[in-house]
Amino acid sequence: MTTLTPDMLVSGIRQSQRDEPDSGILSAVNHGFGRKGLIPLWTGEGPLQTPEFICQAASKAMFDGETFYTWQRGLPQLRAALAAYHEKFWPGPFSAERFFVTGGGMQAIQVALQLLADKGEEIVIPSPAWPNFPGPMRMMGVKPAFVPMLYNDRKWSLDLDRMRDSIGPKTRAICLISPSNPIGWVASREDLIAIRDMAREAGVWILADEVYSRFYYGPDTAGVARSPSFMDVCDPDERVIYINTFSKNWAMTGWRIGWLQAPEALGPAIERIIQYNTSGTAAFMQKGALAALENGEDFVEMQIEMARACRAKVAGALGQLNNVSFENAQGAFYSFFRIDGLIDSLGATLRIIDEANVGLAPGGTFGPGGEGFLRMCYLRDPDSLDEALVRLTAWLRQA
Ligand SMILES: Cc1ncc(COP(=O)(O)O)c(C=O)c1O
């Protein structure tokens, strides 16, 4: 028998998997992970461990024997708590039947994509966008139809006419990440209404990622500090699927637990996808998530305040540099800044790791419009953020 070379093995897998480029975020992490003294601002997470009461609830459930297969859609108790959590911040009413527990926001995205689009079809998405939307689309043979965001006078905006023009016969959905990763841009209520109307007119779905909705620094929305939402302007039973996660609000990125909100009618279809993908999320982890929803509000508010203070520090430090431009955006916890003359953001990211010992993400990995920028996750403890900014501004001054 002939020995198969690595190239021969790889050439035998699906072309869409072979062709997909690596995420530049991972390329940066793989280059610098574990370096002594490196300050990691490359992925979207803060410095705090999951609060103890959440860990205790999960570990108690595990020791109490919640170690068996469980509900595919999620524990009824957790789904009811998700409905109650939504009632506090968005216009309801919300029934538990609308909520589905997933393996992180990432699996909620996978479920939504599997629900909505087939090979050869398209999903409209403004760009720059977090690569974990267009990446899995391409891997499924679905084309991300990018709508380049406009960056003028240090401000990002969405060209609604261009978005409308990008909807065609193959379009199945419009995907909107707001607040945006990576640019922090937040869709206004008017933007959301316009997109809703486009979707209604074309008979396509809206895929709404509102993972960062609580990290919002703009004006209050109806007295509640959270970003404008499709929930403000859409009917509960129209074609909208919401992606969300426990990762950010409650510092649970390593848990891999999130949720999806969809019209009740999709329940059996979503249950089937979960069954055939992961067969559900560990029951004991769901008990941790339940504790987060029931007792975690103080922690969320503390993290939002921390993000707000970090945002001000970053704006102050980068704002002093003549060769750097950025919008002090209203949402999420990223600074997406452009460096004059930069044409290779991955190369710059690797050099900043080597020369300044700070980990960032390359703008080019976020798709059209992202090259020339770098992304910094600024949710950090104040001392290490200060130190990162000293190192980074020194590097940028000589860039
Ligand atoms: C916009 C956006 N959506 C979804 C997610 C998924 O979150 P997770 O899979 O970590 O729960 C992230 C994580 O960074 C994100 O930035």
Q: Are residues 123 and 264 in the same domain?
A: yes
Cα separation, 206 vs 198, whole angstroms: 10
The answer to the question of residue 318 being in a domain is yes
- Under the banding of pLDDT at 50, 70 and 90, the label for residue 109 is very high
Cα separation, 99 vs 95, whole angstroms: 8
Choosing from 125, 185, 211, 366 the residue with most ligand 1 atoms within 8 A of its CB, the one to mutate for a pocket test is: 211
Residue 43: exposure state from Cβ atoms within 10 A (0-12, 13-18, ≥19) = middle
Instruction: State the distance from the centre of ligand 1 to the C-alpha of 158, rounded, in angstroms.
Output: 21
The answer to the question of residue 391 being in a domain is yes
pLDDT at 224 over 80: no
Choosing from 132, 246, 260 the residue with most ligand 1 atoms within 8 A of its CB, the one to mutate for a pocket test is: 132
Q: Are residues 239 and 258 in the same domain?
A: yes
pLDDT given at position 77: 98
Strand 361-362 to 39-40 pairing: unpaired
Helix (H, G, I), strand (E, B) or coil at 69: coil
Residue where one domain finishes, among candidates 227, 260, 295: 295
Q: Are residues 120 and 258 in the same domain?
A: yes
Q: Are residues 290 and 305 in the same domain?
A: no
Instruction: State the distance from the centre of ligand 1 to the C-alpha of 214, rounded, in angstroms.
Output: 14
The answer to the question of residue 182 being in a domain is yes
Residue 186 tokens read as 């937040």
The answer to the question of residue 6 being in a domain is no
Helix (H, G, I), strand (E, B) or coil at 261: strand
Where in the sequence is the domain holding 279, given as residue range(s)?
A: 65-295
Atom of ligand 1 nearest to the CA of 257: 11
Percentage of residues in the chain having pLDDT higher than 70: 98
Q: Mind listing the pLDDT tens digit for each residue in 147-206?
A: 999 999 999 999 999 999 999 999 999 999 999 999 999 999 999 999 999 999 999 999
Beta carbons of 376 and 41 less than 8 angstroms apart:
yes
The answer to the question of residue 112 being in a domain is yes
pLDDT given at position 2: 76
Task: Please tell me the total count of domains within the chain.
Answer: 2
Q: Are residues 75 and 174 in the same domain?
A: yes
Distances (CA, A) of 15 to 140, 141, 154, 366: 10, 10, 39, 22
Helix (H, G, I), strand (E, B) or coil at 120: coil
Q: Which residues contact 169 (CB under 8 A, 6 or more apart)?
A: none
Find the CATH number of the domain harbouring 308: 3.90.1150.10
Measured torsion, CA atoms of residues 363, 132, 86, 241, in degrees rounded to the nearest 10: 120
Q: Are residues 190 and 250 in the same domain?
A: yes
Residue where one domain finishes, among candidates 275, 295, 315: 295
pLDDT given at position 181: 97
Residue 224: exposure state from Cβ atoms within 10 A (0-12, 13-18, ≥19) = exposed
Q: Are residues 76 and 193 in the same domain?
A: yes
Percentage of residues in the chain having pLDDT higher than 90: 92
Q: Mind listing the pLDDT tens digit for each residue in 320-336?
A: 999 999 999 999 999 99
Residue where one domain finishes, among candidates 295, 321, 349: 295
Q: Are residues 229 and 156 in the same domain?
A: yes
Beta carbons of 127 and 366 less than 8 angstroms apart:
yes
Q: Are residues 231 and 255 in the same domain?
A: yes
The answer to the question of residue 59 being in a domain is no
Find the residues whose C-beta lies inside 6 A of ligand 1.
44, 104-106, 130, 177, 181, 209, 211, 243, 245, 247, 253, 258
Q: Are residues 174 and 84 in the same domain?
A: yes
pLDDT given at position 22: 84
Q: Mind listing the pLDDT tens digit for each residue in 63-75?
A: 999 999 999 999 9
The answer to the question of residue 57 being in a domain is no
For the chain, the residue count is 399
Q: Are residues 151 and 250 in the same domain?
A: yes
The one-letter amino acid at 206: I
Find the CATH number of the domain harbouring 266: 3.40.640.10
Atom of ligand 1 nearest to the CA of 247: 11
Q: Which residues contact 115 (CB under 8 A, 6 or more apart)?
A: 241, 262, 266, 269, 270, 273
Atom of ligand 1 nearest to the CA of 245: 11
Cα–Cα nearest to 215, from 224, 223, 226, 231? 226
Q: Are residues 70 and 155 in the same domain?
A: yes
Q: Mind listing the pLDDT tens digit for each residue in 80-98?
A: 999 999 999 999 899 999 9
The answer to the question of residue 1 being in a domain is no
Helix (H, G, I), strand (E, B) or coil at 344: coil
